[in-house]
Amino acid sequence: MSAHPASIARFPKSARRVATYRDENRRPWTFWVLAALFTTYVLALYGPMICIYVLSFQDVRGGLVFPMKGLSLHWFVDLFTQVRTGDVKGGFERSILLAILVTVLTVVGSFMAGLAFRNRFKGDGVVFYLMIGSLVAPGLVLGIGVGLLFQYLGLQASWYTSALGAHLSWTLPFGVLVMFAVMSRFDRAWEEAARDLGATRWQIIRMVVVPILAPGIVAVALFGFTLSYDEFSRTLQTSGPLNTLPLEIWSMTLNVTSPSLYALGTVTTLASFLIIGVCLGAIALMQKRRSNQLGRQQ
Amino acid sequence: MIASADISRAKGPRWNIASWLYISPLVLVLIPFFVVPILVVLVASFLEHDGFGGMIPHFTLVNYASIFTAALTWKLYLSTIKFAVLTWGLTLVIGFWIAYFLVFHVRNQLLAIGLFLLCTVPFWTSNIIRMISWIPLLGKNGLINSALVSTGAIDQPLEFLLFSDFAVVVAYTHQLTIFMIVPIFNAMSRIDKRTLEAARDAGASRFEIMRHIVVPLSRNGIALGSIFVLSIVMGDFFVVKVMSGGGSASVVSALFEDIGVLQYPPAAAASVVLLLVVVIMIALILRTVDVRKEIAR
């Protein structure tokens, strides 16, 4: 920091600081440094992705790097017609279905577990550490275990049984941790008030706890969806004969060296934005309807 | 295991049927899809294999012996831990300052939440796609090299940018910084800003406020973010495989090769060792901060 003039140096240290910090409207130099860091981070976050979206719209001469050659939808058509790209459409559908299943189960499971963990009960530590273990276990290791287990039991591995379980063993602990953070801000006096007014346990959950925790529950849902939609290493050994989308993308990165790969990136990004947009829209609609109802009652 | 020791004490909590009902979905997933599979891997690691994907039910320690005697093992762990530490350091520094900026410097709360969401949006697209997106930038004829060559800063394209350890660390940082930002942001937004003002009025310097207030109160966020980042990097093989162009390997990518040739028992033994290493790392973090107590206050 800058050197102080000798005249100020006579004052006690604390008095000097008060004088420099009191001017609240002036941004300190750290603000500008951190603002620059933030801008750089956001540019580095989005820049490369925007590059591939742009490059996916090249024409048939296009390559993997700039400069961009022509403008067409060639590589999108290529994505869905060529045999070499595999079963993109099927993988996509399976991944979406699987992610929806995982989301629903994760929301329900982590909400209930979050409620349970608010109180101490016998065995809660064991469950908690199992959960942490499941969260940190390397995905491929778990995948091997589930794959071998199904093989040993003589069951056919498939995306809606073994892969579903493998995904849940990772999204559920994640969801519970998010639930912890959300519930730590929940004031239990509200529940007690509802109980005093004669609400049943189910009514308290449905009419008090869930509405107040709704934003956190949405966060858990979005986490669950993206973690599953994107999960690769836990799926590798557990998906059975039919691939999910990440597995298709993986095989494409090994075989395909054309902008088809980028076209796939653009399509999957659009799809996830669409799904998330629909979810958020539905929630906004629900809240609007609820506030309208409240308005009419008053 | 500190928490479970607390519980077993005589005055501790009792068996609570309602709590167990609430927790049952979690347990019903964890037992068949975490506990049992890990036990299966543990058993498989002690079996012999016939080289054709079959396992012979005969107890042996050969799989472990070959792991600990191979020089390759140490090299793999060294390289994986190098990536883990580099990524952890970078994501921690970037994530901490970005969270700090959003919580303490952006005064408009709506703007802060908007900027925070801006950081989380890319998380909604595929990791693999995000990783591949570095190719047009870092490649031999990519944007960075063309820019440097055309401005005359360098004569030859830089080779180390893509298919190198550098590219691996870049891709990891790109993917995982968000795992640091979210928990640290969450922890920091609970710090009462009046505490900082009080410290300032009492004459604390910026550095002292950082060291004695902000860092200690964000500790649980930092710990949680570190758990996410370290366990993901230790368990990954995709980024290493693609971004290093096959030049580097990680523990898991070697494991993946074993499975590719259906060598399940050696792969299982390597898995058990890796799992132990990761669990020890996480346990060390959990020793410094009781995540559950801190979060579920």
**A34 and B96 in contact (C-beta within 8 Å)?**
no
- 3-class SS at A73? coil
User: How many CB atoms are closer than 10 A to CB A295?
Assistant: 8
- Angle, helices A260-297 vs A210-229, to 10°: value is 170
Residue B23 to residue B60: CA distance in whole angstroms: 38
Q: Report chain A residues whose CB lies below 8 A from the CB of B124.
A: 222, 226, 269, 272-273, 276
Is B133 part of the contact surface with chain A (CB cutoff 8 Å)?
A: yes
- 3-class SS at B9? coil
Residue B227 to residue B233: CA distance in whole angstroms: 10
Amino acid (1-letter code) at residue B294: E
| Closest CA in chain A for residue B234 | A138
Nearby residues of B170 by Cβ (< 8 Å), 6 or more positions away: B134, B138, B243
**A197 and A206 in contact (C-beta within 8 Å)?**
no
Q: Which letter does DSSP use for residue A276 in this model?
A: H
- Angle, helices A162-183 vs B17-30, to 10°: value is 140
- Tens digits of per-residue pLDDT, A238-274? 888 888 888 888 887 777 777 888 888 888 888 877 8
- Tens digits of per-residue pLDDT, B249-294? 788 888 888 887 778 888 899 999 999 999 999 989 888 877 666 5
Please tell me the number of Cα atoms within 13 Å of A230 on its side-chain side: 24
Please name every residue paired with A87 in a beta bridge, in sequence order, or none if there are none: none
Q: Where are the alpha helices (DSSP H) in chain B?
A: 2-8, 17-30, 36-44, 62-69, 71-100, 109-120, 127-132, 135-138, 143-150, 165-188, 193-201, 206-209, 215-217, 219-234, 238-243, 251-260, 264-288, 291-295
A265/B296 touch (CB, cutoff 8 Å), yes or no: no
What's the mean pLDDT in B88-113? 91
Distances (CA, A) of B8 to A121, B127, B291: 10, 42, 19
Mean pLDDT of chain B: 85
Residue B186 to residue B243: CA distance in whole angstroms: 32
Amino acid (1-letter code) at residue B51: G
What distance in Å separates residue B12's CA from the closest CA in chain A? 8
- 3-class SS at B247? coil
What distance in Å separates residue A172's CA from the closest CA in chain B? 7
- Tens digits of per-residue pLDDT, B163-222? 888 999 999 999 999 999 988 998 898 888 899 999 989 998 888 999 999 999 898 889
- What is the value of pTM for the model shown? 0.83
What distance in Å separates residue B176's CA from the closest CA in chain A? 11
User: How many CB atoms are closer than 10 A to CB B162?
Assistant: 23
B38/A137 touch (CB, cutoff 8 Å), yes or no: yes
Partner residue opposite A250 with nearest CB, options B16, B128, B236: B128
pLDDT class of A89 with cuts at 50, 70, 90: confident
Q: Report ipTM (2 d.p.).
A: 0.83
Amino acid (1-letter code) at residue B274: L
Contacting B residues, span 264-283, partner chain A, CB-CB under 8 Å = 264, 267-268, 271, 274-275, 278-279, 282
Q: Which letter does DSSP use for residue B57 in this model?
A: E
pLDDT class of B12 with cuts at 50, 70, 90: low
Is B234 part of the contact surface with chain A (CB cutoff 8 Å)?
A: yes
Please tell me the number of Cα atoms within 13 Å of A251 on its side-chain side: 13
User: B45: which 2 tokens?
Assistant: 């690691």
User: How many CB atoms are closer than 10 A to CB B5?
Assistant: 10
- Tens digits of per-residue pLDDT, B33-88? 999 999 999 999 998 877 666 777 888 888 899 888 888 888 889 999 999 999 99
Predicted pLDDT of residue A6: 46
